[in-house]
Structure 1
Amino acid sequence: MSTHALVSPVSVTDGAVTHDVDFIRPQLRSTGLRRIVLHAGVQINGAPHLGTNVMQTSAFLLAAAARDRFGVDVGLRFGALDNAPFETRASPRTGAVYQRSFHHALGATEVERLTRHFYGDLFETLSAVTGVPYEIETYTAQQAQRAFREEFLASLAKMDRLRWVLAPSHGNAPTSHPCPRCGWSEKSGDHTELLAADLHRASFSAVCVDHGRFEVDVTPESPAYIGLTTLHRNLVKERVAARDAAALPVIVKGADWATGCRLLDEAFMTWSGSVPPPRIFTPVVLSDSGAKLSKTLINAGTADLSAETEPWMLDATKWNGTVPRYAQTLVGLVSLMLSDPRHFERGYTTREVARLISRGDISTMTTASGGSRS
């Protein structure tokens, strides 16, 4: 594949890193593990935009590159965020904002259907192209596991220090618990109180907008649902992933997560001897103003998009063609980005993506290691 279509600035890792998958190598060598599991995310709150699918395609291609360069077994685990808010309302008495998640509003069956609708065929095609197996796990299923609850309880024991890492400006890192009768939970957690906690149990008092005050006991076995702030949730998830003694966890996130991961790294340090998992940051897709493409900007009509921005870049379901052809376009685009770290460690406007596609340089479906699989 020709790379002259791209002109990118020199990376700070120039001369030290020839492929972004090599960021995994230090911990792979130090642990001696022969299996890698890459962890990435899946949003189910509407159709994915191009930036989301670039990150997910990157995860497949990075896994294939790790397999080919390091000779290890690989897998992909996508976390489906069914805890995203589905509906919101305010308390007429206090003004506090309450929300109900996709899981609590729609149920597990509908969440599964939405996940298949937005990602099923694409992931199956990407898996076939790269030879990388994958699985999808909802946040609801993950937070119900014993390991997640044990790590959550352990984090509460360190919360006097952790809260100033997870929220340096104000030290407020609340938990939220949906009402067991209706599923509504207070967004800010201002009226949620931790009554008692140790490594085996935590008791909370919370307020429902309709049913008043209720209490929740969280234990490794209890059914109580745990809602956490974004950084707290990711800290617990990464510590759970690090429990896997047979595989090295690798976190794959969009480059907009880099600043947040600085805080996650510091949070890991509150456990003596704890080492954060390696992370790889993928290119973000930008509007003409330089803002990251997001559902919020798209829905608000403030994304500042160029005339070259195709509808499918904002909503993948508007792709005018087959899913295999869409996957081919994504694989070609991301393979071009992965051809040099300076191409991968940057952002791309929708205008630039349109230019690259129009050149025809990404029409051949390839894996990250360069071998054609079409």
Structure 2
Amino acid sequence: MRDNMVRENNTVRPALVSPVGVTGDAVLHSVDFIRPRLRTTRRERVVLHAGVQINGAPHLGTNVLQTSAFLLADAVRERFGVEVSIRFGALDNVPYQSRDCPATGTRYERSYRDALGETGVRELVRRHYGALFDALSAATRVPYAVETYTEQQSAPAFREEFLTSLALMDTLRWVLAPSTGRVPVTLPCPRCGWAQRDADHTELLSAGFQEARYTAVCLDHGPYTADVTPDSGTRIGLTTLHRNLVKERVAAREDALPVIVKGADWAAGCRVVDEAFLHYPGALLPARVLTPVVLFDSGAKLSKTLIREGAAPREAAEPWMLDASLWDGTAEEYAHLLYDLVARMLSAPRHFERGYTLSEVARLIGRRRPAGGSG
């Protein structure tokens, strides 16, 4: 038998080839990283937090992360005997439309939530993820829920943590943005939903633990004032790292142990967020698990944006790898392929905490196209 093939359950399959991990025999399974936190907190429930994108059909890398969340949850339940669930966050505040001020060139953006409404956003989530998540949930017996960012940021706990972060911002801004110290907050116009992308003309007038007041400028409706309180309806847009800090601070309040699941490309971002956590009195760093990422052969993370910009060749991947909606089989077949692929990656930490090129993924799944289809 060739060195790059293995026999599993009487089936010859391509072998995973990964470097020796620095954790060695100290960590035998990737979920063991959360064992110390479970022992310290004595929690009987674990909630894994992961994300979904709604600005287009997901690619293979996105679905690998989400499949990893289901298999990780299953492993947590089996190894630690605790109740598990998954909470997916849908970023409905990502830009749907954009335009520039003709006088200043300032970029204004309108989010998916403002353009499509709650019903439209929910339909996008259902279309892109509903069948896949249902199939993975059935296969692992792990329940899941999808929560939009609009829902998250409207909760009093989120507002309270946001206001607390403002009170610490003199320090946090050099953690969350160590090169510039600038951590902008965007507040969409209450009349039309458009907001300045970089908050160029947004000013914080006052801030306290119960209220913050901002002024901002709308391209169509001029200056406006926005008050943020624990129970106000003002929507707030935060930078990626600031948003994740606040969300993880909220998750830490819950009775269940939160486990943050992100792709391995998030390692540098997690370092920043963890550093920010240390500036809160008595804070305990979040439990984290980093999942495999899918890469172009150049080593760049799989990204449809790179293809659109001409920085990566479209022919580097089969169409369904770039756009899951082009999979020419059933959702159950796609879920089975992902389940099998990720289960093999999860067989050892050295296989899980790494990147896989598209050509390597194609080798591991043993085909370039979905069964019975043209791809």
CA displacement at 1:355 relative to structure 2: 0.7
Q: 1:37 maps to what in 2? A: 47
CA displacement at 1:4 relative to structure 2: 6.1
Match of 2:292 among 261, 267, 283: 283
Distance 2:197 2:118 in 1: 21
CA displacement at 1:105 relative to structure 2: 1.0
Letter in 2 for 1:98: Y
Distance 2:47 2:134 in 1: 17
Match of 2:108 among 98, 111, 115: 98
Q: Would the aligned equivalents of 1:174 and 1:189 in 2 still touch at CA under 8 Å? A: yes
SS of alignment partner, residue 55 of structure 2: coil
Q: 2:330 maps to what in 1? A: 322
CA displacement at 1:115 relative to structure 2: 0.4
Confirm or deny that 1:5 pairs with 2:15: yes
Q: 1:294 maps to what in 2? A: 303
Confirm or deny that 1:127 pairs with 2:151: no
SS of alignment partner, residue 15 of structure 1: helix
Query: After the TM superposition, which residues 1-374 of structure 1 pair with which residues of structure 2 at under 5 Å, given as runs?
Result: 2=8, 5-244=15-254, 246-304=255-313, 307=316, 309-358=317-366
CA displacement at 1:317 relative to structure 2: 0.2
Q: 1:367 maps to what in 2? A: none
Q: Kindly provide the CA deviation profile for residues 122-147 of structure 1, in whole angstroms up to 9, marking residues without a partner as x.
A: 00000000000000000001100000
Q: Would the aligned equivalents of 1:306 and 1:351 in 2 still touch at CA under 8 Å? A: no
Q: Kindly provide the CA deviation profile for residues 170-218 of structure 1, in whole angstroms up to 9, marking residues without a partner as x.
A: 0000100000111000011121000001000000000111111100000
Q: Kindly provide the CA deviation profile for residues 227-285 of structure 1, in whole angstroms up to 9, marking residues without a partner as x.
A: 000000000000000000x2100000001110011010110011111012111000100
CA displacement at 1:306 relative to structure 2: 5.7
Distance 1:8 1:34 in 2: 34
Distance 2:80 2:220 in 1: 55
Residue-pair matches, total? 359
Distance 1:306 1:116 in 2: 28
Matched-pair identity in %: 65
SS of alignment partner, residue 179 of structure 2: coil
Q: Kindly provide the CA deviation profile for residues 302-358 of structure 1, in whole angstroms up to 9, marking residues without a partner as x.
A: 323565x21110000000100000000000000010011111011001111111111
Distance 1:291 1:171 in 2: 28
SS of alignment partner, residue 40 of structure 1: strand
Q: 1:368 maps to what in 2? A: none
Letter in 1 for 2:336: Q
Distance 1:69 1:295 in 2: 37
SS of alignment partner, residue 107 of structure 1: helix
Q: Would the aligned equivalents of 1:10 and 1:342 in 2 still touch at CA under 8 Å? A: yes
Letter in 1 for 2:125: T
Distance 1:70 1:304 in 2: 44
SS of alignment partner, residue 192 of structure 2: coil
CA displacement at 1:34 relative to structure 2: 0.9
CA displacement at 1:359 relative to structure 2: 6.9
SS of alignment partner, residue 25 of structure 2: coil
Distance 2:215 2:366 in 1: 57
Report the TM-score when normalising by structure 1.
Answer: 0.94
CA displacement at 1:299 relative to structure 2: 2.8
Report the TM-score when normalising by structure 2.
Answer: 0.94
Bigger mean CA deviation after superposition, 126-135 or 1-10: 1-10
Distance 1:107 1:306 in 2: 35
Distance 1:348 1:253 in 2: 15
Letter in 2 for 1:251: I
Q: Would the aligned equivalents of 2:47 and 2:85 in 1 still touch at CA under 8 Å? A: yes
SS of alignment partner, residue 50 of structure 2: strand
Q: Which runs of 5+ in 1 are unaligned?
A: 364-374
SS of alignment partner, residue 239 of structure 1: helix
